[in-house]
Structure 1
Amino acid sequence: MDSIWGNYRRWNNLTGWFIFVVSAIVYLLTLEPTVSFWDCGEFILSAFKLQVGHPPGAPLFLMIGRVASLFAGGDTSRVALMVNISSGLCSAFAIMFLFWTITHLVRRVFVEGNALESKHVPAIIGSGIIGALAYAFSDTFWFSAVEGELYAISSLVTALVFWGMLKWEEEADRTYSGRWIILIAYIMGLGLGIHRLNLLVIPVLVFVFYFKKYEVSTRGVIKTFLVAIILLWLMVFVLMPGVPQVAGWFELLFVNIFGLPYNSGLLFYIIILFGGLAWGIYYSLKKKKVILNYIFTCFAVVMIGYSSYAMIMIRSSARPPMNQNDPSDIFSLSYYINMKQYGSSPKFYGNYYSAPYIDVKKTIAGYNKIDGKYKPYYQPEYEYSNQFKTIFPRMYSKDPEHESAYKYWGKVVGHKYTVGAGSDKKTIVCPTFGENLRYFFRYQVGFMYMRYFMWNFAGRQNDIEGNGNSINGNWISGIKFIDEARLGKLDNLPDDLKKNPAHNTYFFLPLLIGLAGMYWQYKKNNAGFWLVMAFFIMTGLAIIFYLNQYPNQPRERDYAYAGSFYAFAIWIGVGYMFVYDKLQKFLGSKVSAAITFLVLLAVVPVLMGTQNWDDHDRSGRYTARDIGANYLKSVAPNSILFTYGDNDSFPVWYSQDVEGVRTDVRVANLSYIQAGWYIDMMRQKAYDSDPLPLTLGHDKYVEGVREQLLVDNRVDKPVSLKEIVRFAGQDDRKYKVDMSGKGDYMNYLPANKFIIDVDSATVLSNGTVKKYFKDRLISPMIWEYSETDLLKGDLAIMDLLSTNEWGRPIYISTTVPSSQYKGLEKFFIQEGLGYRVAPIRTDKPEQGEFGMIDPFVMYDNLMNKFKWGNAEDPSVYLDENNRRMFSNFRRIFGTLGKELLLRGDTTKAVEVAHRGLEIVPLKKMPNDFFTIEIAEVLIQAGKKEEGEKILNEVIDYSKTYLDYAISISHEKRFGLEYPTGINMQALLDIYNLSMKLKMTSLTAIIEPEINNYYSRLYSK
């Protein structure tokens, strides 16, 4: 028997490492060789120089990433690759521990202790291989494994904790088995420095302990569940926020009351905290109180792991270029850890989205350091009528953009209530609790969880972000009649959707094997089933409850539920045993094990791997890196470049901070500049970029000050912007307006037309206005502000514009929403991927959507300086985010080509048009709405046949979309407004172009098509 056990352990260990090698090879072959879009750029630059990224931070991930970056050997172009490799290796380790978890759970069905029959060994090993490789090739996990994000190492922590608890269970009756519990506590403490969702496995661990140590009963299960929830609540809502909060009490006492230096209370708290834990461990050992010793020791190692956040505070105090939220003291660190800048969502009781305010109170939001003390600043806390509150609130967001989505997903009819009196009287619709639950099940559970679950185990429609329509981001199976019953006729879809690389079909096979595994484990090992079920629920439904997601998320969120998919992969592995058991009734154990393994290997991991490879293979793709660099190359030396979103900021920051591209440029994010800590960042020198020239001091924009200002047009004529900024910076009440009549004073601007002085000689000599635009120069520049209020960041920009005096070039990224232009768009000159703000007159709107174009600078940028990250390589996969960007780039090439034609440079116009088509092959991105301007350039440049071919392709493409929309019912057209509208607009634009260029034959073809589609799509 010992030899069988030893043989099993040897094969189990060797196979586990073999699974690691296979997974690692797959991930290393398919990982992105440089930075990816979304948060990856920020994480990598933060890891490389141990800077402070967005809340709640991931200090342990950053330290691991820093170690990984050292293997780049000083070659900064390889730093992102090394961090990505660390993600791939962590993911492979997670798969290895998943294998060992599955084999442990399956083995428990057959044996107690070390008793094991040799005939079971192949089946146990086979089950582990099938389940582990199924998860290795699953959509969500593979995506995270090949980029420099924290979810790979977060998955490893979850896998380690669950596996560690099973190891404790195996050795629970041995001396010193408690060391596994201490190790698990330490890993969970470390996990706090990666992602707090790892804590959701706590209830699973409690049940492992219960099933091992106690006789199972209904009463015992209920008690264990309550203990598990209490422990989870203590960790999530007491320990994580409570430790820094209590430290803040000591800090206030020592600094504000005792008059001691900053951080003195914090140091005292750390001493008594760890001193108390050390005493507790010593006392419990001396008195031989085992349980008490475990409690003190586990709490101590959790705190040691949690102490990774000290790195955030230490590095913030060093004022690195990236220092988000400036968590350099315990109050800002607490604000940072608890992600207060993002607001919070109600969990158990709260308001509906339509709830009216009945009162506003001020609550302490944090503390500013002023004159050696901590002074509180406040934020509004809104009170709502109880009539519009509910338990389990799901539809709570007050964002106007969310209301229509709430109504759609919840099918809201609601109850009508009359509120207010007199002129303020109005009727408000309040959703019912049933509609609240309907939103929960349809959107939060169905769309934002089950859809992702089915992506991983049934199939995925495409890589386009879903919004509830029938053509984007849905799950599919590959079984036509089932898919079409949900989504309509799929044969009518355009080819780019039908042939999308992420169109993956598994025919429900992984799902069915997993369900079979659930059934088999429930029948054979009930305790093991409930352990995995608890894991599945806590990393699925519990996360749904905790996140309480509002509709129209900015990106897909499947990564949040990776732990739940991990749990289901365990059942896929166990599903092997279901098939094996059935075959064993007719065949021998060895033959059954072999046949089951080969069949399931083919229909689960191999099927998933072959289907998913093309849309998870990022090898050779450098688009995020090059696009980030292109933004920087677009601007003049020593510029200030304003960006807005994640994907026009993080790649740019990465290019500067890691690869050292254009470190003379100051990149300022308009989403962040509304915060005082960010304005402080902009006032520091960063690399070769000087501080922003701002006149308003730190005390004028600290948190809680000038969060919002009013525009009150008391002066009709234009006023000097310098005077406006000086006026807005006054603290005396005579410069403010009482908003409520109760002493609620707010700074305001007395005018909305501002004079910005222009020294003509200066702007011509430094290139702000090129000599060939001299006739368009205006002096002074009159800026009419387009909004009725502004935030402190807007005031900072006004300060910059008034103080800069055209000394440093100022640009706004072309991806910044027009709502952020604030009336400056009249003074834009496009030079690439940025609009330069200049004192020029732009009165030719046909030359560009905003302002005008500098064709000479823009031509040099697009044709000579910019790189496109291998997008032109047919073998390089471009996901939806890349394709969307390159669609806009095509349009930029068309815009430049039209400008060159206006200037009579036909040769360069054709070159630009051709280059715009070359950067991405038509195989990846067919000609569509964004290619029309390129076609126009070619036709007007004498390449009529080539241009008409493009237009006909756009017509065919748009007609396919419109035909599909007509083929489905009105109910299933939800969410198709944009693709339908833009393809209808494409036909209209081609019609207008045909009229403009007198292309009568094209006009004759397209005019009836437009009338036909309009009547069929929009007629009632």
Structure 2
Amino acid sequence: MVGCLITGITQKAMIQWTIKGSGYFDVFFVNTLGLPFFSGFAFFFLLIAALIYVGLKFAEKNNHNFLKLGLWSFAFIMFGTFSSYFTTLARSNANPALDMSNVDNPINLVSYLAREQYGDWPILYGQDFTAEVADVKTEETYVKSNGKYEKNGRKSSYVYAAEDKHLFPRMWDASNDQGHADYYAGWAGIGKDKDGSWERKPTVGENIAFAFSYQMTWMYWRYFMWNFAGKQNDVQGIHMSNVRDGNWKTGIGFWDTARLGNQDTMPDSVKYNKANNKLFALPLILGLLGLFYQFKKDRNDVVAVGLLFFFTGLAIVFYLNQAGNQPRERDYAFVGSFYAFAIWIGLGVLYVKELLQKLIKSDSGANIAAAILCTLAVPVIMATQEWDDHDRSKKTLARDLATDYLESCAPNAIVISYGDNDTYPLWYAQEVEGIRKDIRVINSSLLGTDWYINQLRYKVNQSDPIDPIWTPEQIEGATRDILYNAPKPGVDPNQYMDLYTMMKDWAGSDDPNKMEQGRDGSMLNIFPSKKVSIPVDMNVVRQNGTVNANDSVLSSIQFELSKNYIYKNDAAVLNIIAANKWKRPIYFTSPDGSGLGLQPYIRQDGLTYRLVPVKNADVNRDWVVDKMMNKFVFGSADKKGVYYDEENRRHLNSIRYAYAQAAGNLADNGRKEDARKLLAKCDKSMLEENFPYGMVSRNQLHNQFSLQMAIAAYKAEDTVLAAKIVKSVKKDLEQQMAYYSSLSDSKQEAMQNEAADAERMLKGLQQLVTQFSTPQQPAPNAEAPGQIKNPPVVKKAADTPKH
């Protein structure tokens, strides 16, 4: 308990409060005393050092050994640990190309260490996801501006009524951008009334049950068993009742069958998945033997290792309070507890040796026998089962995918991407590999922060500065975090307003006549029209290659904003587009064009989608043929024996889908030879043994992407490739149906949606074959079987803080 208390004090008081104190010292020294930045910060730590010195002298003089030890420990944490963050401060002040969080002053360091960008969540006491917000608590924040710290912006947090709060809240997250609230509601059987409100609150008992069944069993013990009992496959397990995806298994037939159904009837794509690891629970058994052996020998040591196991495993589960429907598996968060259990595995060898010694009656013989037996039973079997799905020696997909995105773009382009996973590979390719450093890669998720928008103003590598329209003062802190739509006299909401004028003269104005008063009396920035237009300079777009010679170029593009509000990150995107005035190519990594209503003006240029003043341009045909034939690389998918996990397959499907889109469009426009070349390039660059066309996936997305490839092959009259794809997909779907039929009634019920999807796709597949086997039949329409309604690369919500 004392250790827990010390850990808590260290985490909160020493790491966060001391840095916050140094920040307030710096504010006082800069704003009140007129001294330079970091003067108060330096004085604060010099003062701490002086106090520690005085305390050590006192402890030495009075022989207070515990005080002396405590002060030295405190000094080590303060100066040994925090000294590493001095490099972060120094790096940020140098303004490098990538400067996350802009930690160039003590105030920003406070936010950086507290991980404020990931939000906060209740642990011991708090609200349920059904709770209504009773009030909003605000705290003034400081920003570095004009040689001093200025109050500009408020940090807001929700306040909930006392009756909506209780101990041990495990179903807390009301946000639904990742389906968290819906997951809770589905688990607890809570519906909505006719007004859209939740019918009831989850009970305390349901919160406790959710903690044990989902957070502990599904999101921890399942990962634990992956490592020490065995793993079913690499498909992410979303729902606890799903017996097909991401479960733990042992390879012991009767045990696995009882839990998951007959594993021999599984489709080949998961039965022979390289992440199907049969450990026969031998590491688990040896570890339990080691735990028992240590308990017999020294119970104090068991407590020590047990606490290590607990605090790096279940305690983290308790602290993270993970919401349902996580965007990815979180096994990496608990690796410390797996290391702790490995200690018991090592001790298990000693226990096996002790048991064998009773039979063999020879120390050396028992030592050799135990070493051989335990090595074969644990390390050897783990290597034979798990090496192939952990071997990354040949895989270059992250770099190659980034290369494909960058090479899809014209020179000096601006690329707007979504989320860390889609952005960091592009930054790596530029900063480390030196690929296409003329392109400015912008992470739209970060555009909601002032520091990231301000970084657009500078030249980075070979990429020219970008005009974000608003000045640094206009976006400081929480200023313009959200814009509201509000009609204004003289502005006709039925007429299209120039986007640049709206964002600069209205949304960027501090004139009270161009603002609205909020409920609390504060003035709110607004945009007066949801209908906006961007004028097109014909000479510019034709001279710089934005449009092709035969394109029907519009004099302006007109679109409508769908919401009554705009967050800062979306407003920043609109500003970039408006201020650019078609001078630089603007690309998106998602075909929805940031979800701002720009879809009719988005054209596929490979893996990226370019904003063009042409309506329904679809595909830049000459461009994609050149880039996709000569520039694209495939992450070693053309080499035998390379393993791609589910996330890798998602990105490979992005490439495959891009080829299918381009080839289908070429075929529709009479260029069937070029279409066949593209399809052949894609097919040969992704070996079926590495990346089969027919494969189990969540919501049948993998097979849907493959069917798009088949449709493109049919259109291009490549019947051999089409038949190859259809055969693979059909085999997988039929095997899926056989597997679902073999399950017990309760397990079948849990898989009914997947079974229905498979059955529907099988029928659609047959219709597809029939359609293209009959001469002069029209191509499949938008509702044809296998049509992708949600492209593989979509705008994603920011990740949750459960890291």
Q: Is the structural similarity TM-score above 0.5?
A: yes
Task: State the alpha-carbon separation in 2 of the partners of residues 999 and 273 from structure 1.
Answer: 84
Residues 294, 361 of structure 1: CA spacing in aligned structure 2 closer, same or farther, 3 A cutoff?
A: closer
Task: Measure how far apart 1:472 and its partner are.
Answer: 1.5
| Partner residue in 2 for 1:466 | 237
The alignment status of 1:867 with 2:641, answered yes or no, reads: no
C-alpha deviations, 1:689-718, integer Å up to 9, x for none? 111122210111111101111123552110
C-alpha deviations, 1:225-251, integer Å up to 9, x for none? 2x2122111111111101101112212
Task: State the alpha-carbon separation in 2 of the partners of residues 431 and 956 from structure 1.
Answer: 44
| Partner residue in 2 for 1:437 | 208
Kindly report which structure 2 residues correspond to 1:484-503, keeping only aligned pairs within 5 A, or say none: 484-503=257-276
Task: State the alpha-carbon separation in 1 of the partners of residues 63 and 535 from structure 2.
Answer: 80
Task: State the alpha-carbon separation in 1 of the partners of residues 628 and 638 from structure 2.
Answer: 15
The alignment status of 1:720 with 2:498, answered yes or no, reads: yes
Task: Measure how far apart 1:436 and its partner are.
Answer: 0.3
Residues 543, 973 of structure 1: CA spacing in aligned structure 2 closer, same or farther, 3 A cutoff?
A: farther
The alignment status of 1:237 with 2:5, answered yes or no, reads: no
| Partner residue in 1 for 2:796 | none
Structure in which a larger fraction of residues adopt helix: 1
The alignment status of 1:820 with 2:594, answered yes or no, reads: yes
1:459 partner amino acid: G
Equivalent of 1:533, from 295, 306, 309? 306
The alignment status of 1:609 with 2:387, answered yes or no, reads: no
Aligned residues: 759
Task: Measure how far apart 1:395 and its partner are.
Answer: 1.0
| Partner residue in 1 for 2:697 | none
Secondary structure of the structure 2 residue equivalent to 1:455: helix
Contact (CA 8 Å) 1:470, 1:488: kept in 2 or not?
A: yes
The alignment status of 1:504 with 2:277, answered yes or no, reads: yes
| Partner residue in 1 for 2:645 | 879
| Partner residue in 2 for 1:342 | 118
Kindly report which structure 2 residues correspond to 1:419-434, keeping only aligned pairs within 5 A, or say none: 428-434=199-205
1:645 partner amino acid: G
| Partner residue in 2 for 1:292 | 67
2:572 partner amino acid: A
Residues 425, 789 of structure 1: CA spacing in aligned structure 2 closer, same or farther, 3 A cutoff?
A: closer
Residues 609, 949 of structure 1: CA spacing in aligned structure 2 closer, same or farther, 3 A cutoff?
A: closer
The alignment status of 1:840 with 2:648, answered yes or no, reads: no
Task: Measure how far apart 1:407 and its partner are.
Answer: 3.2
Residues 970, 249 of structure 1: CA spacing in aligned structure 2 closer, same or farther, 3 A cutoff?
A: farther
| Partner residue in 2 for 1:328 | 104
Kindly report which structure 2 residues correspond to 1:233-632, keeping only aligned pairs within 5 A, or say none: 233-306=8-81, 307-370=83-146, 372-400=148-176, 401-409=179-187, 411-412=188-189, 428-468=199-239, 469-587=242-360, 588-632=362-406
Task: Measure how far apart 1:458 and its partner are.
Answer: 0.2
| Partner residue in 1 for 2:699 | none
Equivalent of 2:543, from 755, 759, 765? 765
1:664 partner amino acid: D
Contact (CA 8 Å) 2:403, 2:435: kept in 1 or not?
A: yes
Task: Measure how far apart 1:984 and its partner are.
Answer: 4.9
2:32 partner amino acid: I
Task: Measure how far apart 1:393 and its partner are.
Answer: 1.3
Q: 666-675 or 786-795, which moves further after superposition?
A: 786-795
Contact (CA 8 Å) 1:656, 1:662: kept in 2 or not?
A: yes
C-alpha deviations, 1:129-164, integer Å up to 9, x for none? xxxxxxxxxxxxxxxxxxxxxxxxxxxxxxxxxxxx
Contact (CA 8 Å) 1:756, 1:781: kept in 2 or not?
A: yes
C-alpha deviations, 1:800-825, integer Å up to 9, x for none? 222211100000013x7x48321111
Residues 661, 237 of structure 1: CA spacing in aligned structure 2 closer, same or farther, 3 A cutoff?
A: same
Task: Measure how far apart 1:969 and its partner are.
Answer: 5.1
Q: 367-376 or 229-238, which moves further after superposition?
A: 367-376
% identity of equivalent residues: 34
Residues 424, 837 of structure 1: CA spacing in aligned structure 2 closer, same or farther, 3 A cutoff?
A: closer
Contact (CA 8 Å) 1:394, 1:548: kept in 2 or not?
A: yes
2:521 partner amino acid: G
Secondary structure of the structure 2 residue equivalent to 1:308: helix
| Partner residue in 1 for 2:515 | 736
Contact (CA 8 Å) 1:255, 1:374: kept in 2 or not?
A: no
Task: State the alpha-carbon separation in 1 of the partners of residues 73 and 90 from structure 2.
Answer: 25
Task: State the alpha-carbon separation in 2 of the partners of residues 949 and 660 from structure 1.
Answer: 39
Kindly report which structure 2 residues correspond to 1:30-49, keeping only aligned pairs within 5 A, or say none: none
Contact (CA 8 Å) 1:929, 1:982: kept in 2 or not?
A: no
Task: State the alpha-carbon separation in 2 of the partners of residues 975 and 333 from structure 1.
Answer: 48
Residues 577, 678 of structure 1: CA spacing in aligned structure 2 closer, same or farther, 3 A cutoff?
A: same
Task: State the alpha-carbon separation in 1 of the partners of residues 330 and 738 from structure 2.
Answer: 31
Task: Measure how far apart 1:639 and its partner are.
Answer: 0.4
Task: State the alpha-carbon separation in 1 of the partners of residues 404 and 466 from structure 2.
Answer: 22
| Partner residue in 2 for 1:686 | 460
C-alpha deviations, 1:80-138, integer Å up to 9, x for none? xxxxxxxxxxxxxxxxxxxxxxxxxxxxxxxxxxxxxxxxxxxxxxxxxxxxxxxxxxx
Contact (CA 8 Å) 1:916, 1:934: kept in 2 or not?
A: no
Residues 403, 874 of structure 1: CA spacing in aligned structure 2 closer, same or farther, 3 A cutoff?
A: same
C-alpha deviations, 1:543-599, integer Å up to 9, x for none? 111111112222221111111111111111111222222222222222122111111
Task: State the alpha-carbon separation in 2 of the partners of residues 506 and 734 from structure 1.
Answer: 71
Task: State the alpha-carbon separation in 1 of the partners of residues 585 and 713 from structure 2.
Answer: 34
2:93 partner amino acid: S
1:535 partner amino acid: L
Q: TM-score, normalising length from structure 2?
A: 0.90
Task: State the alpha-carbon separation in 1 of the partners of residues 209 and 764 from structure 2.
Answer: 41
2:356 partner amino acid: L
Task: Measure how far apart 1:511 and its partner are.
Answer: 0.6
Secondary structure of the structure 1 residue equivalent to 2:264: helix
Unaligned segments of structure 2, at least 5 residues: 694-702, 779-784, 786-803
Task: State the alpha-carbon separation in 2 of the partners of residues 808 and 553 from structure 1.
Answer: 37
C-alpha deviations, 1:467-490, integer Å up to 9, x for none? 132212111000112112221232
C-alpha deviations, 1:898-955, integer Å up to 9, x for none? 1221232222211111122122211122223322233233334443344234223322
Secondary structure of the structure 2 residue equivalent to 1:364: strand
Residues 427, 753 of structure 1: CA spacing in aligned structure 2 closer, same or farther, 3 A cutoff?
A: closer
**CA RMSD, Structure 1 to Structure 2 (Å):** 2.5
Residues 470, 703 of structure 1: CA spacing in aligned structure 2 closer, same or farther, 3 A cutoff?
A: same
Task: State the alpha-carbon separation in 2 of the partners of residues 682 and 250 from structure 1.
Answer: 31
Kindly report which structure 2 residues correspond to 1:87-126, keeping only aligned pairs within 5 A, or say none: none
Unaligned segments of structure 1, at least 5 residues: 1-224, 843-850, 1004-1009, 1011-1020
C-alpha deviations, 1:633-668, integer Å up to 9, x for none? 110000000000223211100011111111110000
Contact (CA 8 Å) 1:755, 1:782: kept in 2 or not?
A: yes
Task: Measure how far apart 1:996 and its partner are.
Answer: 4.4
Equivalent of 1:917, from 668, 683, 688? 683
Residues 424, 594 of structure 1: CA spacing in aligned structure 2 closer, same or farther, 3 A cutoff?
A: closer
C-alpha deviations, 1:821-853, integer Å up to 9, x for none? 2111110111111100010021xxxxxxxx510
Contact (CA 8 Å) 1:352, 1:430: kept in 2 or not?
A: yes
| Partner residue in 2 for 1:86 | none
Contact (CA 8 Å) 1:672, 1:678: kept in 2 or not?
A: yes
C-alpha deviations, 1:148-194, integer Å up to 9, x for none? xxxxxxxxxxxxxxxxxxxxxxxxxxxxxxxxxxxxxxxxxxxxxxx
C-alpha deviations, 1:489-509, integer Å up to 9, x for none? 322321010000011011111
C-alpha deviations, 1:770-795, integer Å up to 9, x for none? 1132xx21002212222221111222
Contact (CA 8 Å) 2:130, 2:198: kept in 1 or not?
A: no
| Partner residue in 1 for 2:525 | 747
Task: Measure how far apart 1:976 and its partner are.
Answer: 5.2
Task: State the alpha-carbon separation in 1 of the partners of residues 58 and 217 from structure 2.
Answer: 52
Q: TM-score, normalising length from structure 1?
A: 0.71
